[in-house]
Structure 1
């Protein structure tokens, strides 16, 4: 069939197919003549598509429709290679991609992955009872990958458009009491007593704790300085690395009440020399999280803490941070102490506790009684 008004058409061509639909062909800015990605029900719709495509070219927003025909598997490999990631983070990304992305999209190209397919993929993970935090993390990775593909002019829009899918609000963790903290410190192996106390009163992560050296603590100023964090790779290798962010490198003032415990620990358990590790196992090795968890659970039993509380070592960081907030610390002070560069994580420690809420209610009750006594006088 002849093209519609070929002499009058300034950009592209339209022809009617035997099926009654309309086919569009046009020449891109690269000089290659190509068809539209699909046919059209009417000549008017075909013309509208040509007008829009020409406008995109004039604005410099035209995308080569073949550019997105890159296998996602290959693009993911390049994306990971080009990211400046810490070793442990790289392993985590690779694991999420291997377990949860490639089984669904490993044979697809970038342009083949559409919003409906992303929605179906996420629903499938949740239906398979993959943890919601894991699904949110994997979705964030995939979203970041497609953002890069948009920046690379391979696709026009990111197909990951599910509102709220990248976030996961975990259940609030328990807060230990002061008595429970000291009961655990008394019940745990003596070489780990100070570790429990620093997890609470210096709000340190496990990796930060086991990376500490003798020189990390200044007894004259009662100050601890976090410089590194020990991470364990999937092959079991332990590596000292920078903290998660620059904010993680921080000085922390220690309560004077810990001085005796620190002095005792330095004398009994820390490795010699300024670079000697503060915490080592009975055989001189770096403590591993899995092995320490067994020691931790025994200490909880010996301290008489119910398993129903489900208290983890990391909860002591949460406990100490909550106490710091209750002491009147500002948001910026909390961020500096716990090593966070964003306010989101620090704000969770500024929530009202039940005991504090009761105190507020009692104060309001006193006002009511005072007002009542004046009325009845």
Structure 2
């Protein structure tokens, strides 16, 4: 494959709507295969020599203000309010939220335990999986401001039983990303918000926690991220600091939100 043809294929993929990261990874795989072919004497020279083709620059994702988060919660159906709030103020992933069970929520301690995640692929369909890393299994403190919201949600919308799902779809099934996407896009449109992904809510929670003085290690624990240094995975937060972070987020919420609704929804 001549160098020019490789560049043309990449350009065509981008024009067809394939993401830059996907195109970059495909180029890296092709280049590695052809490097092996050179080493084996099958070809004389690797044609994948387009400068910068194997790298991608990630654009900075937006984060929402606390008032914007609450405007979104007002624009989604009632059974999705707590989903948005936990994503924003506890920095949970969509798959982690969809797999939460009642036993994972401790309203008294104000914590949510992340033990599993839902994943959906074309080949395997919807499956429950363990976290990719030890850091993904974690317990995260959430702001006290969310306790009434979560209590109301558990009473009105969650499945029954300790292992009942906290979040379900409109028809009572497992909450699926594709179905929720329609709800999310309508909420964005009604608030005049543009290119905001649901995953950006995690960025919002991370930014709020950082503003509250969280250290890098504390942010990693809340987000469920692994470090290059494996030792950090096994380190623990200083007692009380995670709740201090959540309390700071709660103060930001109280500045802009109305009084919390009670268990009856009033």
- Residue 233 of structure 1 and its aligned partner are, at CA, apart by 1.4
Aligned to 2:63: 175
8 Å contact from structure 1 (residues 125, 135) kept in 2: no
- Do structure 1's residue 254 and structure 2's residue 142 form an aligned pair? yes
Aligned counterparts of 1:341 and 1:144: Cα–Cα separation in 2: 26
Q: Structure 1 stretch 244-253 or stretch 185-194: which is displaced more? A: 244-253
- Do structure 1's residue 334 and structure 2's residue 222 form an aligned pair? no
How far does the alpha carbon of each residue in 1:246-299 deviate from its partner, in whole angstroms, 9 at most, with x for none? 221111111111111111111111111111111111221112212111111222
- Do structure 1's residue 127 and structure 2's residue 11 form an aligned pair? yes
Aligned to 1:306: 192
Higher relative contact order (CA 8 A, sep 6+): 2
Aligned counterparts of 2:196 and 2:120: Cα–Cα separation in 1: 22
8 Å contact from structure 1 (residues 122, 135) kept in 2: no
Aligned to 1:283: 171
8 Å contact from structure 2 (residues 102, 162) kept in 1: yes
Aligned counterparts of 1:298 and 1:174: Cα–Cα separation in 2: 18
Larger radius of gyration: 1
Please, which runs of 5 or more residues in structure 2 have no aligned partner?
Answer: 229-266
| Change in 2 beyond 3 A, CA 1:128/1:326 | same
| Change in 2 beyond 3 A, CA 1:203/1:161 | farther
Aligned counterparts of 2:49 and 2:219: Cα–Cα separation in 1: 33
* RMSD over aligned Cα atoms: 2.7
| Change in 2 beyond 3 A, CA 1:298/1:124 | same
- Residue 173 of structure 1 and its aligned partner are, at CA, apart by 1.8
Q: Write the mapping of 1:7-26 to structure 2, written as runs, cut at 5 A.
A: none
How far does the alpha carbon of each residue in 1:61-94 deviate from its partner, in whole angstroms, 9 at most, with x for none? xxxxxxxxxxxxxxxxxxxxxxxxxxxxxxxxxx
| Change in 2 beyond 3 A, CA 1:183/1:155 | farther
* Match of residue 186, structure 1, among 63, 74, 93: 74
Q: Write the mapping of 1:211-290 to structure 2, written as runs, cut at 5 A.
A: 211-235=99-123, 237-290=125-178
8 Å contact from structure 1 (residues 143, 158) kept in 2: no
Aligned counterparts of 2:104 and 2:6: Cα–Cα separation in 1: 44
Please, which runs of 5 or more residues in structure 1 have no aligned partner?
Answer: 1-116, 344-377
8 Å contact from structure 2 (residues 13, 23) kept in 1: no
